[in-house]
Amino acid sequence: MRIKRRREMKAMIPTASMSDIAFLLIIFFMLTTVFRKELGLKVVLPTAVTTERILKSRDLANVYIDREGRISVDDNLVTPERVKLAFKIKMSQNPAVIAQIKADKQAQYGPVWDVLEALRQAQAYRVVFATEYPKQGAKG
């Protein structure tokens, strides 16, 4: 008497389209990832009657000064000496960098002057002050 053996069935997972799925997932995550923007300090910018918009945002380096006189560069609270060091590094990496000072409209002039002096010592001569342009047609 012969005993019939059953053949064991092995599960087969098709892997031919695995690479396609992996690349689609990579593309999906690349397109939907949002990079964190610089937070800076909470400031209320002063208003200006006329202003000019800077279109090259990649050459901008923001310096925030709040109403208490705290200074922030690259999301770090710094002293004016550290502003000088940070901008020396930025200027060595990109000589076309523009220092954009975002000072609160109620900030004292002392910290603003300290930042301007630090930028001058770092040879960052391209400096702009950020302002808020009043909306046309806004009724107050």
CB 94 within 8 A of CB 61: no
For residue 94, give both structure tokens.
């990109």
Question: How far from 139 is each of 44, 47, 92, 136, CA to CA, in Å?
Answer: 20, 16, 46, 9
* Predicted local distance difference test score (pLDDT) of residue 132: 87
The answer to whether the beta carbons of residues 63 and 56 sit under 8 Å apart is no
**Cβ(82)–Cβ(117) under 8 Å?**
no
Answer for the pair 119, 82: CB distance below 8 angstroms, yes or no: no
pLDDT band at 140 (very low <50, low <70, confident <90, very high): very low
Q: Quick check: 136 pLDDT over 80?
A: no
Q: List CB contacts of 130: < 8 A, sequence separation 6 or more.
A: 45, 62, 100, 101, 102, 103
Place of tokens 């053949």: 7
- Greater pLDDT, 82 or 53: 82
- Higher pLDDT, residue 53 or 109: 109
Environment class of 45 (CB within 10 Å of its CB; exposed 0-12, middle 13-18, buried 19+) = middle
Question: Hey, what domains does the chain have and what are their CATH numbers?
Answer: 57-129 (3.30.420.270)
What predicted TM-score, i.e. pTM, was given to this entire model? 0.68
Taking each helix axis from N to C terminus, what angle separates 109-121 and 80-93, rounded to the nearest 10 degrees?
Answer: 40
Tens digits of per-residue pLDDT, 72-130?
A: 998 899 999 999 999 999 999 999 999 999 999 999 999 999 999 999 999 999 999 99
Mean pLDDT of 23-49: 85
Predicted confidence at residue 119, as pLDDT, reads 96
